[in-house]
Structure 1
């Protein structure tokens, strides 16, 4: 991968979730970065009225702190290509790009731009999708708008905003809910856009590497259900894939299991499940099966990622994708002390979990 590739962060979240507040903060802070911001023109509040050097004739606007801002009036790929060309020609100077989507946008097609268009893929590196969720209205918005569920499902990192407006129980309910939609996104609380720059940039969420972060709470709760056989007042719908791993590895100090029993039932279309196995995959069978799954369910698969133990391969195989677009790569060698296993997470809309799990089982060597 060329070191000169320009990292891109996609900022998404429903209307009023705080995207513009966060963006203003990023653009005003003295971090010394030169950032190009691409705004969807449907933005509920344009940022340029306060902090941009006004020049309404230009599509690309120079900002007072050295950043630049442009509005999409057309195709994202064309705007990115234009920015890259101007950078090559020495007309614009920027190190990274932030794309703020409209609050009603599904981030999937934006993410796909970086895989579908070869010119874009050569110049830009999709770093991460960050989704903002409003603590006060988040549960209601998740109930009412599938696009909000999609925004959560695509995220590499979730920022919960306006947490000061709700009590601890409401906040715990919301965290629990989004965690079960997307256990691989790290969840952070941010007040008034005050996220550390390190929490926003260089997250490497789309990197093909051997790290697959799955929030331990996601698994700890599921284990908790098996161990204590409590009647939960809602159905996770994805427990059996996690049963065969070592329960001990998920326990962590200070985790209060008791508070999980008052969560309301949310029948979210977007759910996730984790698949694990200590047995190696047969590479050919797995490739055929995943190819078929992507063909049939690709549109319903939002994000998926895995670190795989393959028969006859002494290195970890990592894969991840968005919809039908999947990439895979060889990662580091398995260390002698490591327990070889496969771990995969699937996030999607009404996915047939049993069918996928059984199909993956059938691909084991």
Structure 2
């Protein structure tokens, strides 16, 4: 086994918990800016990779399914290719971030880094980082097994949305985390020590998990991956060529969150508005919570039409489509 194995940071967290925002914050730190990012997304429209402030050369997108199984082979192939390019001198980097879909069970990825002969000589799983949503997190943990496993297998848990959470929500989520994983390090998303902790060896020392112990965790956690998300959780994507008003979009999201919030696991979109067509509006909603609207300085790619992805549990997407057409715009394309 080589002594210069590349460290890998696995970034997990349930849908809408703030993984991409955290990753952007970390990549702005000089100590982490020479990282390669692998993004895995669930949904017909891959959006998250467009919102990562990193050059295209250092982003790899896996958008064909769940990274823990369906595209696990693609992940391994990507890592092998990246290592070969590093050895040839074609691409310089010091570490890899793997941002998983919010529906991923991280345990099989543990297993890959501990046992796959294509990875163990060249790669080292240095940290499993899980984002924890203080607003919706406790309710999510009560319902979704994937969310519980993401917390239970984390070395570092990053608490997000503290500015939106009540004291009761915060206390409840922290208590739930303590029951699932009392040994993990907990930090706030805006903690200046986050990047330094990931670069150093202090995280592994604080948690006390060696690679052998990670292998034991894999073996001790029954991998009952019955694809809950493939049965009851699904996605629908919308495209809209014509610019729309900001007010109409926000009214529609508020209506959707009010009527189906408990089933709305995640909504994210880039919207071309009549007010500022060259500065796309970033919209995000998780369950009943509509996040503050952001304006990007420019479109992140050459496609300047609105695009929205909705991920939900047992949602009536036909009804959602009709409400969109009536409230926002009728010139709508579905998943094309």
> TM-score, normalization: structure 1?
0.52
Question: Which residue number in structure 1 is paired with residue 30 of structure 2?
Answer: 30
**Partners of 1:102 and 1:31 in 2: CA distance:** 25
Give the secondary-structure state (helix, strand or coil) at the position aligned to 1:120.
Answer: coil
Q: Which has the larger radius of gyration?
A: 1
Please list every run of 5 or more consecutive structure 2 residues that lacks an aligned counterpart in the other structure: 65-70, 225-336
Question: Which residue number in structure 2 is paired with residue 320 of structure 1?
Answer: 213
Do 1:153 and 1:347's aligned partners in 2 also have CA atoms closer than 8 Å? no
Question: Which residue number in structure 2 is paired with residue 120 of structure 1?
Answer: 119
Give the secondary-structure state (helix, strand or coil) at the position aligned to 1:42.
Answer: coil
Question: Which residue number in structure 1 is paired with residue 161 of structure 2?
Answer: 162
Question: Which residue number in structure 1 is paired with residue 195 of structure 2?
Answer: 197
CA RMSD of aligned residues (A): 3.0
Matched, 1:46 2:44: no
Matched, 1:70 2:60: yes
Question: Which residue number in structure 1 is paired with residue 134 of structure 2?
Answer: 135
Do 1:22 and 1:195's aligned partners in 2 also have CA atoms closer than 8 Å? no
**Partners of 1:50 and 1:14 in 2: CA distance:** 18
| Offset, 1:143 | 1.1
| Offset, 1:42 | 2.8
Do 2:32 and 2:199's aligned partners in 1 also have CA atoms closer than 8 Å? no
Question: Which residue number in structure 1 is paired with residue 88 of structure 2?
Answer: 89
| Offset, 1:176 | 1.3
Give the secondary-structure state (helix, strand or coil) at the position aligned to 1:174.
Answer: helix
**Partners of 2:178 and 2:221 in 1: CA distance:** 11
> TM-score, normalization: structure 2?
0.56
Higher relative contact order (CA 8 A, sep 6+): 2
* Residues 54-88 of structure 1: per-residue CA shift (max 9 Å, x gap): xxxxxxx32xxxxx111125421111001001111
Question: Which residue number in structure 2 is paired with residue 147 of structure 1?
Answer: 146
Give the secondary-structure state (helix, strand or coil) at the position aligned to 1:200.
Answer: helix
Aligned length: 213
**Partners of 2:173 and 2:51 in 1: CA distance:** 33
- Compared with structure 1, are the counterparts of its residues 174 and 49 closer, same or farther at alpha carbon in structure 2 (3 Å cutoff)? closer
- Compared with structure 1, are the counterparts of its residues 46 and 169 closer, same or farther at alpha carbon in structure 2 (3 Å cutoff)? closer
Give the secondary-structure state (helix, strand or coil) at the position aligned to 2:60.
Answer: strand
| Offset, 1:29 | 3.2
**Partners of 1:212 and 1:161 in 2: CA distance:** 20
| Offset, 1:49 | 5.1
- Compared with structure 1, are the counterparts of its residues 212 and 159 closer, same or farther at alpha carbon in structure 2 (3 Å cutoff)? closer
Do 2:184 and 2:207's aligned partners in 1 also have CA atoms closer than 8 Å? no
Please list every run of 5 or more consecutive structure 1 residues that lacks an aligned counterpart in the other structure: 54-60, 63-67, 214-304, 307-317, 327-345, 351-365
Counterparts of 1:1-365 in structure 2, within 5 Å, are 2-31=2-31, 33-42=33-42, 45-48=47-50, 51-53=53-55, 61-62=56-57, 68-72=58-62, 74=71, 75-191=74-190, 196-203=194-201, 320-322=213-215
Further displaced range: 175-184 or 193-202:
193-202
Question: Which residue number in structure 2 is paired with residue 274 of structure 1?
Answer: none
**Partners of 2:166 and 2:217 in 1: CA distance:** 40
**Partners of 2:4 and 2:30 in 1: CA distance:** 23
- Compared with structure 1, are the counterparts of its residues 79 and 14 closer, same or farther at alpha carbon in structure 2 (3 Å cutoff)? same
Give the secondary-structure state (helix, strand or coil) at the position aligned to 1:71.
Answer: strand
| Offset, 1:189 | 1.8
| Offset, 1:30 | 3.2
**Partners of 2:14 and 2:193 in 1: CA distance:** 18
Following TM superposition, the consecutive aligned residue runs of length 4 or more in structure 1 with deviations greater than 4 angstroms are 323-326, 346-350
**Partners of 1:199 and 1:45 in 2: CA distance:** 28
**Partners of 1:81 and 1:6 in 2: CA distance:** 11
| Offset, 1:19 | 0.5
**Partners of 1:76 and 1:197 in 2: CA distance:** 24
Question: Which residue number in structure 2 is paired with residue 243 of structure 1?
Answer: none
